[in-house]
Structure 1
Amino acid sequence: MKTLLKNAREQKGLKTREVAQLLRIDQALISKFENGSRKPTKDQVVKLASLLAIDYETLLVAWLKEKILNEIGQDEFALKAMDMVREEIQNNYNTIKKSLSKNLTSILDEIDILKSKLDKFPKFDSDRITQALELEYTFESNRIEGNTLTLLETDLVINEGLTISGKSMREHLEAINHHEAIAYIKHLIDKNNALNEQEVLSIHNLILRGIKPNDAGRYRQTQVMIKGSSYMPPQPFLVSKEMEDFFIWYETNKNNLHPIVLAAELHERLLTIHPFIDGNGRTSRLVMNLILLQNGYVITNIKGDYETRMRYYNSLETAQTKNNKEDFLLFIAQNEKESLARYLEIIGQ
């Protein structure tokens, strides 16, 4: 692990002092991490992986290996104990899978079948189809938040650069910004960039660019209330720590959960933290779709009509106030199932 850290730091052209400043820890600790005389905490492993562009799983496995060896040393019963640990960890993974409801498991199975059909279709992206679906996504995601541009007007604003009479400048910017944010998450996928704090802030910056420039890409500094909901988001001084926990949860669970569940969980967790003064909904849906696209799925498009919007809001509030995510996970899974089925129908599969 020590070699891994040092090589990654040098490849990034960073000094130990600079790494220490960015992580807000003592410079001597970085040196000790690199010479093996001190082990970072798990939280520090997450931050080091993100900062130094090291695959989190690779770094965590190296960290765990050293931690285990340090604890058990050369004890004669070590291998027997390791076999027991392996069995218990496997049982825990099976418990996670069994914790999914029958309804959710059934939909995920149906999604897997549709996904297998999609995987067999070579290069399923078609520019015209993709552009049309992304336009619909921009229209619906903005409509959820109260934007009154029609689908046709959204197309004219984005693709023709026209100004729609009677529509506010904000509504025009929301269409343009969301379109550019979709392009940005696709760029992250092409570059194989992992989801991290900087990327989420960049997505949000695009969403609010030119609308609320002082708040774009920044965590909120005031308390907020969610209109029509009894849920109260955390106080602003807690947001930074909540977001840190958000990314730790992601890194810990990204390889253990079905991609649909992972994407839905990130969507709900980000909305529950409500880290921004505005643009939380659009940002969380983009983060969800970033995860889906990374895993080879299609964009899931939550409609902005009254009935769908109410099901979306009600399932979210249940997750936030009753610690019951079942309805929300089912809602997202059903949306992705419908999106996959529609895409396959469009391409003739």
Structure 2
Amino acid sequence: MDITALLATIDAKKATIGHYQPLPEEEMRILAHQTKVEHVWSSNAIEGNTLSLYETISVLETGLTPQGKPIKDVLEVLDLSDAYDYVMDLVQEKGPVTQTMIRDLNRLVTAKTTQDVRQAGNYRDIEVWPQGLPKNTYTESVDIRPQMAQLVAWSKESHNLMHPILYAAELHRRFVSIHPFIDGNSRTARLLMNFALLESGLPLINIRPDSISRDKYMQALYHAQQTGDPDPFDLLIAQYVDKEFDERIQVLKLHEQNIKDAESQTNLPKDK
């Protein structure tokens, strides 16, 4: 399925969500927590964090530090948890993308792991390359400030003109290609992308960290940066959104069926 057809399918699924009975508040809270934990685990794992999903849950829910794991990996879990909560607050506030918001996201993402607290949220002063390869440079340090200003201006102009999935994907691509910070750029980019999805009523997505999924994600990004062709990356993000809608609809259908089953399978009087 090409990107245009998939976007139309997703729009149709989004329109049907409101036809189902909502989940009970407690179940919605549990699902929201599970989504957060999966994001913290997967987004960190893509960057090399060694904590498993179970160990990430343990850190967030019990405060226990897994034995034999680097303390930096534990601190990254705590940092990304705080940054995730910040994004949820921003969605509720319905604020625009700004340089201050992006700086604060990066501050939270790297708060406990940066060696110099002044680096958190501070644009880099030196040149960096993806995986140490100078042939594919990020934005030169002297151009970061104007390019970040252009990114914010583009966001303001485009977020109501583009399909929300294409806008979210391009926001991710544009930001990560600038790579304005010394650390935490990719985790910040995925949070920005999910902010854009959530503010448009779309589900949050978590890029899977297994080697196949990670390689597909990185190759689609690299392809867009090198050729200017965004379609593979846009399609990848749309596929994640489509899958999330399928899972959400499946849960809502099950909820309605469970209500019907419970109502019919009883020997008690109807007023009990």
In structure 2, distance between residues paired with 1:331 and 1:241: 29
SS at match of 1:297: coil
Counterpart AA for 2:122: R
Matched length: 248
Residue identity in the other structure for 1:253: S
- Pairing partner for 2:98 from 167, 180, 196: 196
Q: How does 1:139-178 map to 2 (within 5 A)?
A: 139-178=41-80
CA RMSD of the aligned region, Å? Answer: 1.6
Give matches, 1:258-297, under 5 Å. Answer: 258-297=163-202
Deviations 1:85-140 (A, max 9, x none): xxxxxxxxxxxxxxxxx811111011112211223346567000110111111111
Post-superposition shift, 1:348? Answer: 3.0
Q: In the alignment, is residue 105 of structure 1 matched against residue 4 of structure 2?
A: yes
Higher RCO by CA contacts (8 Å cutoff, separation 6 or greater)? 2
8 Å CA contact 1:138, 1:175 repeated in 2:
yes
Once residues 181 and 340 of structure 1 are traced to their aligned partners in structure 2, the CA distance between those partners, rounded to angstroms, is 24
Alignment match of 2:84 (pick from 179, 182, 187): 182
Cα pair distance change 1:174/1:348, threshold 3 Å: farther
What residue is the counterpart of 2:203 in the other structure? 298
Aligned to 2:147: 242
Query: Which amino acid letter does the alignment assign opposite residue 108 of structure 1?
Result: L
Could you list the per-position Cα deviations for residues 62-103 of structure 1 after superposition, in whole angstroms to 9, with x for gaps in the alignment? xxxxxxxxxxxxxxxxxxxxxxxxxxxxxxxxxxxxxxxx81
Q: Gaps spanning 5+ residues in structure 2: where?
A: 255-272
- Aligned residue in 2 for 1:137: 39
Identity among equivalent pairs (%): 31
Supply the distance in 1 between the matched residues of 2:55 and 2:148 (Cα, whole angstroms): 36
Letter in 1 for 2:130: I
Decide which of 194, 198, 212 is 1:307's aligned counterpart.
212
Q: Which has the larger radius of gyration?
A: 1
Within 2, Cα distance between the matches of 1:348 and 1:217? 43
Q: Confirm or deny: 8 A CA contact 2:20 2:253 kept in the other structure.
A: no
User: Are 2:75 and 2:112, in contact at CA under 8 Å, matched by a contact in 1?
Assistant: yes
Match of 1:8 in 2: none
* Inter-CA distance 193–122: structure 2 relative to 1 (3 Å threshold): farther
Q: Distance in 2 between matches of 1:200 and 1:254?
A: 16
Indicate yes or no: 2:143 matched with 1:211. Answer: no
Q: Which residue in 1 is equivalent to 2:257?
A: none
Distance 1:272 1:263, change over 3 A: same
Contact between 2:96 and 2:156, CA under 8 Å: does it hold in 1? no
Q: 1:301, 1:339 within 8 Å by CA — same for their partners in 2?
A: no
SS of 2:202's equivalent in the other structure is coil
Contact kept? 1:250, 1:266, Cα under 8 Å = yes
- Aligned-residue offset at 1:228: 6.8
Question: 2:230 aligned with 1:325, yes or no?
Answer: yes
SS class of match (1:347): helix
Whether the aligned pair in 2 keeps the contact of 1:231 and 1:317 (CA below 8 Å) is no
Do the aligned residues in 2 keep the contact of 1:157 with 1:175 (CA within 8 Å)?
Answer: yes
Aligned to 2:126: 222
Aligned partners of 2:22, 2:126: CA distance in 1, in Å? Answer: 46
Q: 2: distance between equivalents of 1:128 and 1:237?
A: 45
Please tell me the residue identity of whatever aligns with 1:318: H
What CA distance in whole angstroms lies between the structure 1 residues aligned with 2:132 and 2:238?
Answer: 24
Which letter maps to 1:266?
L
Once the two structures are superposed, what CA deviation does each residue of 1:123-178 show, in whole Å capped at 9, x if it has no partner? 56700011011111111111100001000100000111011111111111111111
Structure 2 residue matching 1:293: 3-state secondary structure:
helix
- Answer with 160-169 or 121-130: which moved more: 121-130
The answer to whether 1:253 aligns with 2:155 is no
- Cα separation, partners in 2 of 1:205 and 1:121, compared to 1, 3 Å: farther
2:15 alignment counterpart: 116
